[in-house]
């Protein structure tokens, strides 16, 4: 397995009615071998005020998560500013430029996709997806959001189930983080 390419997963976030839900499949593969079923690819950030998900190399994603946490601490309550500052650093720092991952970051007021090319993209419809099954999850989420009254969390869970049936790098062992937390609503 050495030298094999590490494959991404699927991360999906849905912002609906002031609630942000972000989830991911837990599968990790190296080459054509599944090496882990329950990786944590979606994590609370900024003392539980934001959520970050990553797809790509696990070590790279975790390194970027830590950098983003620092930016969120430097710009409390401002996810957009923290994401832009991370994107600038990611694009210009020689070591960071080599990291192979993408991030989705959000809070109940904003949802963004951040890439190493310096992109900070805010989807028009409050739905963002990255990773190998991202297109499948995105399509399912858009249909469910448009044609049902499902909660943001239910849309995420159902859409990731669809992606898991199609994408071989995504499993159905989904972890979802929702803000505000259900008890806080």
CATH number of the structural domain spanning residue 100 = 3.60.20.10
Tens digits of per-residue pLDDT, 5-28? 445 689 999 999 999 999 999 998
Tens digits of per-residue pLDDT, 148-177? 999 999 999 999 999 999 999 999 999 999
In a domain? residue 182 = no
In a domain? residue 4 = no
In a domain? residue 44 = yes
In a domain? residue 21 = yes
Summarize the confidence of residues 40-49 as an average pLDDT: 95
**Is 92 in the active site?**
no
In a domain? residue 29 = yes
In a domain? residue 164 = yes
The number of domains in the chain is 1
Residue span of the structural domain in which 74 resides? 10-173
In a domain? residue 145 = yes
Q: What is the pTM of this model?
A: 0.91
Tens digits of per-residue pLDDT, 45-58? 999 999 999 988 88
In a domain? residue 56 = yes
Residue from 9, 10, 170, 178 carrying the catalytic annotation: 9
DSSP letter for each residue of the chain: -TTPPBP--EEEEEEETTEEEEEEE--EEETTEEEES----EEEEGGGTEEEEEEE-HHHHHHHHHHHHHHHHHSTT-HHHHHHHHHHHHHH-TTGGG--EEEEEEETTEEEEE-TTS-EE--TTSEEEEETTHHHHHHHHHHHHHH----HHHHHHHHHHHHHHH-TT--S-EEEEEES-GGG-
């Amino acid at each position: 397995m050495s030298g094999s390419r590490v494959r991404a997963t699927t991360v999906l976030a849905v912002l609906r009615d002031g609630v942000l839900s972000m989830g991911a499949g837990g599968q990790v593969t190296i080459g054509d071998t599944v090496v882990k079923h329950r990786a944590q690819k979606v994590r609370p950030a900024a003392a539980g005020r934001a959520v970050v998900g990553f797809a790509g190399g696990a070590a790279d994603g975790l390194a970027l998560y830590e950098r983003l946490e620092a930016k969120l601490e430097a710009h409390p309550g401002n996810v957009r500013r923290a994401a832009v500052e991370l994107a600038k650093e990611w694009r210009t720092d020689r070591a960071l430029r080599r990291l192979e991952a993408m991030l989705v970051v959000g809070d109940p007021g904003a949802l963004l996709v951040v890439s190493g090319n310096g992109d900070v993209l805010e989807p028009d419809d409050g739905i963002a997806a990255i990773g190998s099954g991202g297109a499948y999850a995105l399509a399912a989420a858009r249909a469910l959001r448009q044609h049902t009254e499902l909660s943001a969390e239910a849309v995420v869970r159902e859409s990731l189930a669809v992606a898991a049936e199609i994408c071989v790098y995504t499993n159905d062992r989904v972890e979802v983080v929702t803000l505000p937390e259900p008890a806080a609503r």
